[in-house]
């Protein structure tokens, strides 16, 4: 299939690269530095034991999505609304759009602008951009894909879901289809809330965080609050299984820094409003307090705003 990836950062380059390697026609849409490097040298994926170069199309122009059968949206959550508006004039009627983003409501925001079928994916991959056109893989790489409860009965959404899941599996990317993607999204959000802010504030990798009893207790607190807010909104999560999943992620991605930590180190805006900040805001709306998430959100916003000791 013809695949366009909007947002050629670590996630977009990783999945776009594997799809291209698997035989799909892929175009990455991203920033000039990455696009120039990919056009010149190819997309480079650095694995733990080898380096791989993949030839893939790249463009800085969102109009490059115009012939795509599938568009993978991989932009940062704060850029979702602008991405939807940018995509709208260029998509064909039958194009399938899939959100591969952190946070709960990105697919909903895309759906508010686009008439095409919109899917939501929960991404479990450790990766970061090591340089222009070079992505470093640090762990996992599987997906959970589904349609929202509101869209699950739409025939075009069901067909699109099967088609996109098959595309990933054919490329060797594990893709579990969920009949309740809201649970899967909240599960990933709770895990992100346990890791992202603390990794950024402590400048720590996941493995070191999990070895510190004080940090383990703090991480478990974020999970408890996320579960309470999700349940208040009608999404039932298993707290014990979620905590176990957090320690599983810490083991599998022991060398990973969170995306929030990477953003702060590079002086870029973070997605913390869509992570711990989302739990706080949704909790406020539902009458559920989330003090640990509130503190972590506030501290990351302070750190994001600048460094007085720099």
pLDDT above 70 as % of the chain: 100
Residue 156 — very low, low, confident or very high, per pLDDT cuts 50/70/90? confident
Q: At what angle do helices 276-286 and 181-202 cross, to 10 degrees?
A: 120
Backbone angles phi, psi at 81, to 5 degrees: -65, -45
| pLDDT for residue 45 | 98
The DSSP symbol for 110 reads: H
In sequence order, the 6+-apart residues with CB closer than 8 A to the CB of 87 are 6, 62, 65, 71, 73, 97, 113, 114
> Cβ atoms within 10 A of the Cβ of 179, count?
10
Report the Cα–Cα distance between both ends of the chain, in Å, rounded: 48
- Distance, in Å, from the CA atom of 107 to the CA atom of 84, rounded to the nearest integer, reads 10
Mean pLDDT over 214-234 rounds to 98
Query: What is the reported pLDDT for 307?
Result: 86
Mean pLDDT for 8-15 is 96
The domains located in the chain, with CATH, are 2-179 (3.40.50.720), 182-304 (1.10.1040.10)
Mean pLDDT of 33-50: 96
Mean pLDDT confidence for 76-94: 96
What is the pLDDT averaged over residues 292-301?
A: 98
Taking residues 186-212, report their average pLDDT: 97
Q: In the structure, what pLDDT confidence band is assigned to residue 149 with cuts at 50, 70 and 90?
A: confident
* Residue range 134-147, pLDDT digits in tens: 999 988 899 999 99
Taking the whole predicted model, whether its pTM rises above 0.85 is answered as yes
pLDDT for res 107: 94
The whole-number pLDDT of residue 310 equals 65
Q: What percentage of the chain carries pLDDT values higher than 90?
A: 88
Q: What amino acid positions are annotated as catalytic residues?
A: 188
What pLDDT shows up at residue 142? 95
State the Cα–Cα distance between residues 196 and 200, nearest whole angstrom.
6
């Amino acid at each position: 299939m013809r695949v366009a990836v909007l947002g050629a950062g670590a996630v977009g380059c990783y999945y776009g690269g594997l799809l291209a390697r698997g035989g799909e026609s892929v175009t990455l849409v991203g920033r000039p530095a990455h696009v120039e490097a990919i056009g010149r040298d190819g997309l480079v994926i650095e694995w733990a034991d080898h380096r791989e170069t993949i030839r893939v199309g790249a463009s800085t122009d969102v109009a490059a999505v115009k012939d795509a059968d599938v568009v993978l949206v991989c932009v940062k959550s704060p850029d979702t609304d602008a991405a939807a508006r940018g995509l709208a004039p260029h998509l064909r009627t039958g194009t399938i759009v899939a959100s591969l983003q952190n946070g709960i409501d990105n697919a909903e925001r895309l759906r508010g602008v686009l008439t095409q079928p919109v899917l939501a994916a929960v991404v479990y991959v450790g990766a970061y951009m090591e340089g222009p056109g070079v992505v470093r893989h640090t762990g996992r790489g599987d997906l959970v894909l589904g349609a929202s409860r509101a869209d699950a009965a739409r025939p075009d959404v069901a067909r699109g879901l099967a088609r996109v899941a098959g595309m990933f599996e054919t490329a060797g990317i594990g893709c579990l289809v969920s009949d309740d993607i809201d649970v899967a999204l909240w599960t990933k959000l709770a895990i992100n809330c346990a890791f992202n802010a603390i990794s950024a504030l402590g400048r720590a990798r996941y493995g070191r965080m999990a070895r510190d009893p004080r940090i383990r207790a703090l991480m478990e607190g974020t999970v408890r609050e996320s579960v309470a807010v999700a349940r208040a909104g009608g999404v039932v999560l298993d707290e014990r299984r979620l905590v176990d999943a957090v320690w599983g992620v810490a083991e599998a991605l022991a060398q990973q820094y969170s995306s929030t930590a990477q953003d702060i180190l590079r002086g870029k805006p973070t997605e913390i409003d869509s992570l711990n900040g989302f739990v706080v805001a949704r909790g406020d709306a539902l009458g559920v307090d989330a003090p640990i998430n509130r503190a972590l959100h506030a501290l990351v916003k302070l750190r994001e705003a600048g460094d007085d000791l720099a």
